[in-house]
Structure 1
Amino acid sequence: MTTGLTVLDVIDAVAREAMLFAAIGFLIGGLDDLLVDLAYGYAQLRRRLRGELPRPLDAPLPPMAVFIPAWDEAAVIGAMLRATLARFGAAPYRLYVGTYPNDRATIAAVAEVADADPRVRLVIGPTPGPTTKADCLNALWRALLRDEAAGEPCTAVILHDAEDLVHPGELALYAAWLRDHDAVQLPVCPLPDARSPLIAGHYLDEFAESHGKSLVVRELVGAALPFAGVGCAIRRDMLGRIADLRAGQPFDAASLTEDYELGLTVSALGGRSRFVRARAEDGSLIAVRAYFPATLPAAVRQKARWLTGIALAGWDRVGWQRGGSLREHWMRMRDRRATLAIPVLAIAYFALLAWGASLAGHVLAASTLPMPEGAVALLLAVNAAMLAWRVALRIAFSWAAAGPLQAALAVPRVLVANLVALLAARRALTLYWPMLGGAAARWDKTDHRFPTGAGDGS
């Protein structure tokens, strides 16, 4: 009996210490999030008091180039290109699609559309794939330079992925804002996927809050605006400045998240970037829409690439802006806080298991389960209140983005998001470790699908 009580005492101590560690970590993260919420509330109040008028979107459109990197995208690229041509209409633009010499199926799919419309440029890179998305984008940049030398000018470069469903008002919005800005980022709106309401759906919740609140706060505090890699337009002269600093290549081929770093680079060069949420005449939000990974392995693979590129390798690559403001350091800390938040989350789940084992042990021993008291009890109550607030906000943003059904699903998707994050962290470490030894980054992409019926622009 004494041995049993001793083991139970150890379990109680482990559960208590793990709970306390996780609770302190959650408190720090919760206060950080709460500060962002307060800043967002201030931004919304200021916007309403100022009554900022939307910019007119009927000005003549300048020539623009759309860069679409495509590795192993034969299943979606044809439909995406046809939909984009139909939605963008007769505006002055060219679609540059980057492919690889060892990806014949994607080349054939792009060539079929290019043969029917001269605005589509098939670009076959010199290196077998996959390399990195940035390397593919650099091949498109070189193709653009060749066209410019042949007398086809360009004022801006737009970034899209092979699975994106573009908005018809996108080009006009870019033209309106790029007159006095160097870059523009549109919201990204994941499409609800009936096949995967939880795994694919958790992206909807995250982007609704990130592109509804977090980027708004970044602009408010004057921090650099990272790009999402899709739905962003950069002035041609700004990309040229970046290329001049990088031996003629504006996209860093060694990066897994070239979009994130590109936004920081534009800011470091003194460029003005703007995140724009605007509605078309029909009331629709001008945004990029796409299906996101619908299976757990695919979601883990994508999140691991983001985590590696931003929080791990990205930390090594871009560091902390020298001479930057406290607000800039705050936002970069938030970008990288997953390196601390995920271990805290893992310990929190371990604490739950330990408390379950403690409860079972005390039931079998007919003894009293020790309960938190004093400051620890207060800490847990504060964390519970902040958790309730976080979930309520996620529901609100998901409701605003996609309606009540998705808002209701946002609650169980909190647990799904945690699971994906934990598994992605483990995979990110396996990706990051070889990079520390000098291994080249590779395009670790996921399979995509395009909305049925949208291939003709409907």
Structure 2
Amino acid sequence: MSNEGWTALQWLALAEHELLLFAGVFFLLGAIDELAMDVAWLWLRFTGRAKTRQLSRSDLRHRALGGRAAVLVPAWQEAAVIADTLRHALEAWQQQDLRIYVGVYRNDPATLEAAARGAAGDPRVRIVVHDREGPSTKADCLNRLYRALQQDELREGRLAHMVVLHDAEDMVDPAALALLDSAIDQYQFVQLPVLALPQEKSRWIGSHYCEEFAEAHGKALVVRDALGTSLPAAGVGCAFDRQMLGTMAAAASADAPFDEESLTEDYELGIKVSALGGKSRFLRLHGEDGELIATRAYFPSRLDESVRQKARWMHGIALQGWDRLGWTGGPAEWWMRLRDRRGPLSALVLLTGYTLMALTLVLLAFTLAGVRLPWQPSPLLLTLVGLNLVSFAWRAFMRFTFTRSEHGWREGLLAVLRIPVSNAISIMAGCRALYAYVRSLRGTPPQWEKTAHDNHPARKIELEWAS
């Protein structure tokens, strides 16, 4: 049919039809992917393989380590939280064979002073001042800490047993260090869950991470672990066999294992362990109090910071990961890497969906005014819409379920209400990631776009104890 003489209403109706078809198909593909993950997790639950075992936190807290545990903590402009992190870690982890390496920059004296205050003269802390000005990249700071570890190993004549990664804002679990130490005897990489904590002052932005981590670390990583695919490192609450890090460095013909060109060097480390023949494990366990043994932290509470953080994740995992890691492995591995790299496409589909919603409201107004629309949906299109509505209801239920299990009914209900907020942040982050990726293709070097932190969960615990 010729489009000559078409009215604006006809063009809008055509746009609605095409957007509905595009969004409907890709939403359904995403729903099938998530349903497959749900079915796998439900099967593991039904067979008892996803059951969370219980251990004694008090026993693990005082258990001796099998060797030196080196904890690397890179810190750039973290004066507001690094002292709390160190104080809590030193109190939670009583083992004497612990060495915490804190990386600070020579042009960041505030973080240096705060780190020294948090260490309070404890000999288990070593503050390493980087010999270049910040910010560089997180991987560069980690490599500086790794070299400091090597110097200590040469001086003392012994290799560390394991290397643990943490961020400057983390609240560690008292049982985590001994648990990682016992598991690293059998595996070259071990990841513990990460829990994003609700924030009273940021119910919509900062707290929306609660449901994302509850579902990712309560379901997706459990399935990946059971399937035996490579496990991505979260960059916190994870441990690497010391010799495996040396093997990674040798494989890259470098003197340190962290790739300074990568925006998500921690994610890549976990994938590389499998590529080098190492074994990985995701450990999800409860303490005797019923609480998950996990790393806890507050995530960005402002919209711009959340978008910047998620854009870095998308850029590093989805876009850089495609270039740098490829598609090695079998079908299960391809499935997991496809899930890891779908972020930018998901952002595009979400943007299409919300554009379609706005357009539908405009056309609905015309319909209510008595104007007949130029097209009517076919039975196939109505079926597509119906399937997507059912899948959305199921996704909302699953999000509620996993969030409620970690944070209670209130956060579970809020998790459903926050779905539009999470989607909007993903859309903006996807646009920013694509822009950053294009810039990197033109030669712009990566930079550490860190997230500002001004609060620490350990302070809340101290206030509760005081009261």
Interval containing the TM-score (normalised by the shorter chain): over 0.9
Which segment drifts farther, 224-233 or 331-340?
331-340
d(CA) in 2 for partners of 1:171, 1:386: 40
Deviations 1:387-441 (A, max 9, x none): 1000000000000010001001011111000000011112112221221122211
d(CA) in 2 for partners of 1:366, 1:76: 60
Shift of 1:79: 1.2
Conservation of the 8 A alpha-carbon contact between 2:198 and 2:207: yes
With a CA cutoff of 8 Å and minimum separation of 6, indicate the structure with the bigger relative contact order: 1
Partner AA of 1:436 in structure 2 = L
Q: How does 1:321-336 map to 2 (within 5 A)?
A: 321=328, 324-336=329-341
One of 390, 399, 409 as aligned partner of 2:414: 409
- 2:82 corresponds to 1:81: no
- 2:31 corresponds to 1:30: yes
Partner AA of 2:155 in structure 1 = A
Q: TM-score normalised to the size of structure 2? A: 0.93
d(CA) in 2 for partners of 1:4, 1:292: 53
Q: 1:161 to 1:402 in 2, by over 3 A?
A: same
Map of 1:60 onto structure 2:
64
Q: 1:426 to 1:107 in 2, by over 3 A?
A: same
d(CA) in 2 for partners of 1:231, 1:90: 17
Shift of 1:264: 0.5
Conservation of the 8 A alpha-carbon contact between 2:84 and 2:118: no
Shift of 1:457: 12
Conservation of the 8 A alpha-carbon contact between 2:52 and 2:284: no
Which segment drifts farther, 59-68 or 118-127?
59-68
Partner AA of 1:60 in structure 2 = A
d(CA) in 2 for partners of 1:364, 1:114: 70
- 2:318 corresponds to 1:311: yes
Partner AA of 2:88 in structure 1 = A
Map of 2:198 onto structure 1:
192
Q: How does 1:183-222 map to 2 (within 5 A)?
A: 183-222=189-228
One of 255, 261, 271 as aligned partner of 2:268: 261
% identity of equivalent residues? 45
Secondary structure of the equivalent of 2:285? Answer: coil
Map of 2:446 onto structure 1:
441
d(CA) in 1 for partners of 2:198, 2:146: 33
Secondary structure of the equivalent of 2:259? Answer: coil
Map of 2:179 onto structure 1:
173
Conservation of the 8 A alpha-carbon contact between 2:10 and 2:374: no
d(CA) in 2 for partners of 1:53, 1:429: 41
Shift of 1:281: 2.8
Shift of 1:369: 7.9
d(CA) in 1 for partners of 2:390, 2:136: 46
Partner AA of 2:65 in structure 1 = L
Conservation of the 8 A alpha-carbon contact between 2:55 and 2:287: no
Map of 1:47 onto structure 2:
48
Deviations 1:131-152 (A, max 9, x none): 1111100000000011111115
- 2:19 corresponds to 1:18: yes
Map of 1:104 onto structure 2:
109
Deviations 1:56-79 (A, max 9, x none): 865631220110000000111011
- 2:387 corresponds to 1:382: yes
- 2:354 corresponds to 1:344: no
Conservation of the 8 A alpha-carbon contact between 1:39 and 1:217: yes
Q: How does 1:94-243 map to 2 (within 5 A)?
A: 94-114=99-119, 116-151=121-156, 153-243=159-249
- 2:304 corresponds to 1:297: yes
Secondary structure of the equivalent of 1:112? Answer: helix
Secondary structure of the equivalent of 2:257? Answer: coil
d(CA) in 2 for partners of 1:119, 1:193: 32
Structure 2: runs of 5 or more not aligned? none
Shift of 1:318: 1.2
Shift of 1:91: 3.9
Q: TM-score normalised to the size of structure 1? A: 0.94
Partner AA of 1:174 in structure 2 = L
d(CA) in 1 for partners of 2:48, 2:274: 23
Conservation of the 8 A alpha-carbon contact between 2:54 and 2:290: no
Partner AA of 1:230 in structure 2 = V
d(CA) in 2 for partners of 1:17, 1:166: 50
d(CA) in 1 for partners of 2:51, 2:188: 24
Secondary structure of the equivalent of 1:95? Answer: strand
Shift of 1:21: 0.7
Shift of 1:456: 10
Structure 1: runs of 5 or more not aligned? none
d(CA) in 2 for partners of 1:77, 1:456: 18
Shift of 1:114: 3.9
Q: 1:457 to 1:88 in 2, by over 3 A?
A: farther
Conservation of the 8 A alpha-carbon contact between 1:80 and 1:162: yes
d(CA) in 2 for partners of 1:65, 1:188: 20
Conservation of the 8 A alpha-carbon contact between 1:82 and 1:456: no
Q: 1:53 to 1:421 in 2, by over 3 A?
A: closer
Which segment drifts farther, 363-372 or 248-257?
363-372
Deviations 1:308-349 (A, max 9, x none): 11111221111111xx10111111011111232211111111
